[in-house]
């Protein structure tokens, strides 16, 4: 695949931080409203995931030469920054990117709230996704993600991960948005698909998980080939109920991964 205009050149990666969003339900509702008004009809998984792997493990799994300074994150939400792995001429690089895709032609960053997830079934129907699918695909490192199951008037959060919490990669699309003044901002969206049988117990959508043997294919193969990878992932996934402390972005600590108290 020929790299597009926003292809990455090898450089020292700087860490950018972005304001926290208030809480998940508000973000999801804003995302749905924007998507509906802009014609981006998206089935949204609740936007939370976590990344606790060590830098050494991330470098090894994704075959990277270097990484920016990273700390374990247990509650990553839309409009926050997270590392993404992208293709470059000499291999792969890591960018710290804002979660919520913002096309290069946007007037500001507001479209990001409506594009935290990109439905695999309609990637070629919307200009922002279609452009990124051709030449700006990425891998989003994670150790797992959260989903909420409605139980009457309440929602029970679950963490969904591989057995033993192994490092995984979501299929992502990325873009670089540049304001008239100031630094450019890298942004990304997570590609979603229908849920596997196990995940469907709590939600009807899930992020696309790319197998390690397919990392390079997702990053650089022709779009038609890459699209064949956008299927539900089922091998070795586990679902565990966790505390509703994960509902608040003020909480970002290892206790969020502990099983919910029973009884």
- Enumerate the β-bridge partners of residue 155: 150
Q: How far is CA 27 from the centre of its chain?
A: 15
Two structure tokens written together for 46: 């609740």
Choose among 133, 79, 118: nearest CA to 207.
118
Q: Which helix or strand (DSSP H or E) is residue 132 part of? A: helix 127-135
Tokens of 145: 């993600």
The total number of residues shown for the chain amounts to: 263
Q: How far apart are CA 111 and CA 251, in angstroms?
A: 26
Q: How far apart are CA 148 and CA 119, in angstroms?
A: 19
Query: Any idea which residues carry the catalytic annotation?
Result: 46, 147
The token duo for 233 is 């992932």
Q: Which tokens sit at 128?
A: 């922002």
Would you state the structure tokens that stand for residue 225, as one six-digit string? 């080939």
């Amino acid at each position: 695949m020929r790299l597009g205009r926003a292809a990455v050149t090898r450089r020292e990666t700087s860490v950018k931080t972005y304001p926290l969003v208030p809480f998940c339900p508000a973000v999801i509702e804003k995302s749905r409203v924007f998507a509906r008004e802009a014609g981006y009809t998206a089935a949204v998984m609740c936007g939370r995931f976590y990344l606790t792997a060590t830098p050494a493990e991330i470098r090894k799994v994704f075959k990277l030469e270097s990484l920016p300074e990273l700390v374990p994150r247990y509650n990553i939400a839309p409009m926050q920054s997270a590392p993404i792995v992208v293709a470059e001429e000499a291999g792969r690089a890591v960018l710290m990117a804002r979660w919520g895709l913002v096309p290069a032609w946007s007037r500001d960053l507001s479209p990001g709230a409506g594009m935290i997830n990109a439905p695999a079934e309609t990637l070629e129907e919307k200009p922002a996704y279609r452009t990124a699918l051709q030449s700006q695909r990425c891998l989003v490192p994670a150790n797992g993600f959260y989903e909420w199951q409605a139980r009457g008037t309440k929602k029970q959060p679950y963490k969904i991960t591989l057995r033993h919490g192994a490092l995984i990669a979501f299929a992502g699309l990325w873009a670089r948005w540049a304001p008239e003044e100031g630094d450019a901002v890298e942004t990304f969206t997570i590609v979603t698909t229908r849920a596997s049988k196990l995940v469907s117990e709590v939600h009807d959508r899930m992020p696309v998980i790319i197998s390690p043997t397919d990392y390079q294919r997702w990053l650089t193969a022709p779009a038609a080939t890459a699209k064949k990878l956008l299927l539900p992932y089922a091998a070795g996934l586990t679902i565990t109920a966790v505390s509703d402390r994960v509902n608040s972005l003020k909480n970002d600590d290892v206790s969020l991964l502990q099983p919910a108290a029973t009884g």
